[in-house]
Homo-oligomer: A and B are copies of this chain.
Amino acid sequence: MEIKFKPIGIIHSPYQRMEETPRQGSFSPENYSSIEIFPQYEKGLNDIKNFSHIIVIYFLHRSKGYSLLSKPQRHNELRGVFTTRSPHRPNPIGFSAVKLLEKKKGILTVSGLDALDDTPVLDIKPYITEKDSPFKNSVV
């Protein structure tokens, strides 16, 4: 079974290389990126200014191959790749919950996105606290 997607937009970010993307503190004011949604999808952004935070799903286009065991950032031991945020994974899909600062036509300005420049965007979703903050909802 093969699943096919097409980019709906592209990320413009200050990061050219994986080593440059922030690990923590990615919501610092210097960390602005813009997300350009292609004109044919722009209408899908209607009313997005009602949301303070959005989820961005993207294609980790610079990922090359993967290993099922991987070293997480700042760790030395090998772990299962699904317990890391390594870009080198069987399906190189990236996910970030980011703060929406501005929308002008098809361009969203956000902070907290640690994606590389030119990253293809696959989906934008509203961040809904009740749904997306599991610690608020868990039956402990």
Q: Which residues does A use to contact B, with CB under 8 Å?
A: 1-8, 24-29, 37, 41, 43-48, 50-55, 57, 59, 68-69, 78-85, 89-91, 93, 95-99, 111-112, 120, 122-135, 137-139
A interface, over-half SS: mixed
The reply to whether A120 and B1 form a contact with Cβ atoms under 8 Å apart is yes
Copy count, this protein chain? 2
Residue of B5, B37, B82, B124 touching A3 (CB-CB under 8 A): B5
User: A97 with B133: in contact, given A1-B120, A68-B41, A111-B139 (CB under 8 Å)?
Assistant: yes
Instruction: Please name 8 further chain A to chain B contacts, defined as beta carbons within 8 Å, in addition to the given A24-B130, A48-B80, A133-B135, sorted by A numbering.
Output: A4-B4, A27-B137, A48-B83, A51-B83, A54-B82, A95-B95, A97-B133, A99-B139
